[in-house]
Amino acid sequence: MSKLITISPSPHVFGSQSVGRLMYGVILALVPALLVSVFFYGMGAIIVTLLSIGFCVLFEFLIQKFILKTEVRISDGSAMVTGLLLAFNVPSNLPWWIIMIGALIAIGVGKMTFGGLGNNPFNPALVGRVFLLISFPVQMTSYPVPGGLNTGYVDAVTGATPLGIIKEGLKSGLSISDLMKEVPGYLDLFIGKMGGSLGEIAAAALILGFLFMLFRKIITWHIPVTMVGTIALFTGILWLINPDKNADPLFHVLTGGVLLGAIFMATDYVTSPMTPKGMIIYSIGIGAITVIIRVFGSYPEGVSFAILIMNGFVPLINRYIKPKRFGEEVKHG
């Protein structure tokens, strides 16, 4: 034969899935929540999102090109996902330079230090977010109140989140029944009309993103359902014991970062366990830690910390939890 043919071991055909397709699928799933955020927080949501994505992609490019001197692979979409998720986890009036620092920490410390995509033990966006929360507590907790499309970027009117109102109110001796009058109703909580981080408010839109990712088989149900279920269970028990001191489970699930965390942060492939059983243990851990921080800790919200803590256990979970091997137990049926 005159022409060259390829020789390689089997298999010779391959599926059509790729890292890029998965990442862009996640981005698409985040769009509804972003739109809701723009609707309630106006231009600020757009500016913060674009800045965060821009800085994340820029830092990944600079580090790959000039420090690691490896292949530049910003087009795989993973830095965009990190940027988008970092933006979703900060207030929509955050000054540009704080976003820049957050992006540098997320991409630099959270991801590239460990070798880039696939090698980071902790969720990069959360590494950036928690760094900012500890370093700039004032700016990171001045949440704009929903004012519609005419809300400005830096001059937005700010207020507390529903979780913040409850936490402060309980400290000053008020009861839940009094405090529930001061927080938005369940319908508002469901559509996202409340103060909070840019992308965490829109429960309905986040659930839409979840269904989309399930449909496209980007993620499985295990982590989101178990994590939300655990939070509902534990807060439900506390609520039943003392409804005057503890908010009800629906309130806990719809506020703060529970849905954003359960659907988009805890499900990050790289930093979550490899087996369904491992995923369930991991998400029970996240749910339990979240409730402990919310109810007994000094922060009103604990999802970010909980996910990072459980990220740290993932290598152990992967080592301990093995899939059921075929032929492990002999069945005679």
Partner 1 sequence: MLKTFAKGGIHPPENKLSAHVTILDLPVPKTVSIPLSQHLGVPAVPVVDKGDAVKAGQLIAKSEGFVSSNIHSPVSGKVVKIDKVPDTSGYKKNAIVIEVEGDEWIETVDRNGDLINTFDYSREEILKKILEAGIVGMGGATFPSHVKLTIPRGKKANYLIINGVECEPYLTADHALMMQKGEEILVGTMILKKVLDVDKALIGIERNKPDAIEHLTRLSEKYPGIEVYPLQEKYPQGGEKQLIKALINREVPSGGLPIDVGTVVHNVGTAFAVYEAVQKNKPLIERVLTVTGKSISKPSNFRVKIGTPISDVIEAAGGLPEDTGKIISGGPMMGKAINDLSVPVTKGSSGILILPEPEAKRKKIDPCIRCSRCINVCPMGLEPYLLMSLSQKNLFERLENEKVMDCIECGSCSYTCPSNRPLLDYIRLGKVNVGKIIRSRK
| Distance from C-alpha of 117 to C-alpha of 145, rounded to nearest angstrom | 36
Give me the least distance between CB of 179 and partner 1, in Å please.
42
Out of 39, 269, 299, 313, which residue is the one contacting partner 1 (CB under 8 A)?
269
146 vs 278 by CB, closer to partner 1: 278
* Those residues with Cβ within 8 angstroms of residue 194's Cβ, 6 or more apart along the chain or in another chain: 146, 161, 162, 183, 184, 188, 201, 255
Give kind and range of the element (H or E) at residue 290.
helix 276-296
Phi first, then psi, for residue 143 (nearest 5°) are -90, 130
Selected binder of partner 1 within 69, 171, 181, 331 (CB under 8 A): 331
Q: b/e string for 55-81 if b means 16 or more Cβ within 10 A? A: bbbbbbebbbeeeeeeeebbebbbbbb
Candidates 153-161, 173-181, 224-232, 268-276; binding stretch for partner 1 (CB under 8 A): 268-276
Stretch that binds partner 1, among 28-36, 113-121, 201-209, 303-311 (CB under 8 A): 113-121
Query: Which of 27, 31, 76, 295 lies at the binding interface for partner 1 (CB under 8 A)?
Result: 76
- Residue whose pair of structure tokens reads 């087996």 in the numeric block: 275
Question: Per CB under 8 A, does 177 bind partner 1?
Answer: no
Among 114, 212, 275, 309, binds partner 1 (CB under 8 A): 275
In sequence order, what are the beta bridge partners of 158? 144
Q: How far is the CB of 12 from partner 1 (least distance, A)?
A: 5
Asked if 171 is part of the footprint of partner 1 (rule: CB under 8 A), the reply reads no
Alpha carbon of 313 to those of 39, 47, 278: distances in Å? 38, 35, 10
Q: Would you count residue 155 as binding partner 1 (CB under 8 A)?
A: no
Q: Interface with partner 1 includes 324 (CB under 8 A)? A: yes
Contacts of 217 (CB under 8 A, 6+ apart): none
Q: Which of 2, 150, 241, 333 binds partner 1 (CB under 8 A)?
A: 333
Of 270, 281, 292, 309, the one binding partner 1 (CB under 8 A) is: 270
- Please, which residue, 8 or 172, has the CB nearer to partner 1? 8
Cβ distance 58 to 82 under 8 Å? no
Per-position x/- string for 12-41, each x denoting binding to partner 1 as judged by CB under 8 A, each - no binding: xxxx-xxx-xx-------------------
Q: Which residue stretch of 7-15, 154-162, 224-232, 254-262 sits at the interface with partner 1 (rule: CB under 8 A)?
A: 7-15
> Could you tell me which of 254, 249, 250, 255 has the C-alpha nearest to residue 236?
249
Beta carbon of residue 77, minimum distance to partner 1 (angstroms, whole number): 11
| CA–CA distance, 99 with 132 (Å, rounded to integer) | 9
Does the footprint of partner 1 cover residue 241 (CB under 8 A)? no
Exposure class string for 223-261: b at 16+ Cβ within 10 A, else e = bbebbbbbbbebbbebbeeeeeebbbbebbbbbbbbbbb
Residue 113 touches partner 1, criterion: CB under 8 A: no
* Shortest Cβ 172–partner 1 spacing (Å): 45
Rank residues 198 and 279 by Cβ distance to partner 1 and give the closer one.
279
- Angle at which helices 303-320 and 276-296 pack, to 10 degrees? 150
CB of 274 to partner 1, least distance (A): 4
How far is residue 1's CA from residue 179's CA, in Å, rounded to a whole number?
82
Q: Is 69 in the site for partner 1 (CB under 8 A)?
A: no
Torsion of CA 92, 98, 101, 106, to 10 degrees: -30
Could you list the residues that contact partner 1 (CB under 8 A)? 1, 3, 5-15, 17-19, 21-22, 73, 76, 78, 116-119, 269-270, 272, 274-275, 322-333
